[in-house]
Structure 1
Amino acid sequence: MAHSNNSLVTGKLRGSLGKELVFREWAGKTVVAKAPKKRKGEPTAKQVEIQEKFLIASRYAKAIVESADKSMAEAYAAVLKPRQNVYSRALEDFMSPPIVKSIDTRDYKGTAGNKIVVRAIDDFRVVDVQVEIYAANGTLLETGKAIQAIYGLDWTYTATQANTPLAGTKIKAIATDVPGNDGILDVSL
């Protein structure tokens, strides 16, 4: 991709040149790119799924930009990457679900009051972490919200019920980001 800063040759060109080149302005410069080609054949099921997700993501991003409440637009604006705008940042956030990196069960011994620490990350912000504890036979024992640590990466859940025997227990953490995407991780003890 070529870049021009309003040279004598490209001036303030916009649009396409035949079916080969496309001229547009990006960050105050004229950018020349190869023209996109029309897709041949029907899209695969995976491509259709991605197209549908992208459509919903674009509607989310447009709603953020056009909302009367500018708090979310300002929050996205505060974390823009180079050559990015609020719309593209919101779209990127929608397309990127949070990731539960780890579930620390060292302090969980199966008694009420024990702590489980979940580390969850997102490209923008994790807003909620839900923890579920299942007995060895698969029965849901308890579920609840974890509390975010001051520095923001870790979330702590305090168990409310006794769980014996501990062997075979499954702990599931579900992290949710601003657009409502979920990231899930479970561990077995």
Structure 2
Amino acid sequence: MANSTNSIITGKFRGMLGKEVVFREWDGKTIVAKAPRPRKGSPTPEQIEQQDRFLIASKYAKAVTDNPDQAMAEAYATALRPRQNVYSRALEDCLKAPVVKKISTNLYTGNAGDKITIRAVDDYRVVTVWVQIFAANGSLLERGAAVQNTNGLDWSYTTTQANNSLAGTKIIALATDVPGNEGSLEVIV
């Protein structure tokens, strides 16, 4: 992809030239790119799913930028990458779900008051982390919200119920980001 900063040849070109080249302006430069070609054949189910995800993300980003209360737009503005605007930052956040990287159970002994630590990350911000603890037989022992630690990455959950049979206990952590995307991880003790 070639680019130009207002040369005497390309000037302020914008648009398509002869169905071969496209001129557009980005960050004060004229960008020259190959013209897109029409798609051949029907889209695959994966492409349709991605188009649906992108449609939802674009509606979310538009809602962020058009909202009269600009608090969310200002929050996204603090996390812009180079050559990125609020719309594209919100779109990117909506397309990427948070990831629960690990569930640390080394302090969980089955007693009420034990700590379980969850590491959850997102490209922008994780808003909530919920924890569910299931007994070995599959029955739900407890569930609740974890509290974010001061490091901004980890979340702590304090157990409220005693668990006499620790072997086979399943712990599920579910993280949610600003647009409402969810990511989860499950471990068996």
TM-score by length of 2: 0.99
Which residue of the partner structure matches residue 116 of structure 1? 116
Residue type of the alignment partner of 2:78: A
Runs of 4+ more than 6 Å apart: none
Shift of 1:61: 0.0
Shift of 1:151: 2.0
Structure 2: segments with no counterpart, 5+ residues: none
Corresponding pairs, count: 189
Shift of 1:14: 0.5
Which residue of the partner structure matches residue 177 of structure 1? 177
Which residue of the partner structure matches residue 106 of structure 2? 106
Output one character per residue of 1:16-50: Cα deviation in whole Å (capped at 9) or x when no partner: 00111000000000000011111111111111011
Q: How far, CA to CA, are the matches of 2:148 and 2:123 in structure 1?
A: 17
Matched position secondary structure for 1:130: strand
Which residue of the partner structure matches residue 73 of structure 2? 73
Q: How far, CA to CA, are the matches of 1:153 and 1:102 in structure 2?
A: 11
Which residue of the partner structure matches residue 96 of structure 1? 96
TM-score by length of 1: 0.99
Shift of 1:83: 0.7
Matched position secondary structure for 1:118: strand
Q: How far, CA to CA, are the matches of 1:180 and 1:168 in structure 2?
A: 31
Which residue of the partner structure matches residue 128 of structure 1? 128
Which residue of the partner structure matches residue 5 of structure 1? 5
Structure 1: segments with no counterpart, 5+ residues: none
Which residue of the partner structure matches residue 37 of structure 1? 37
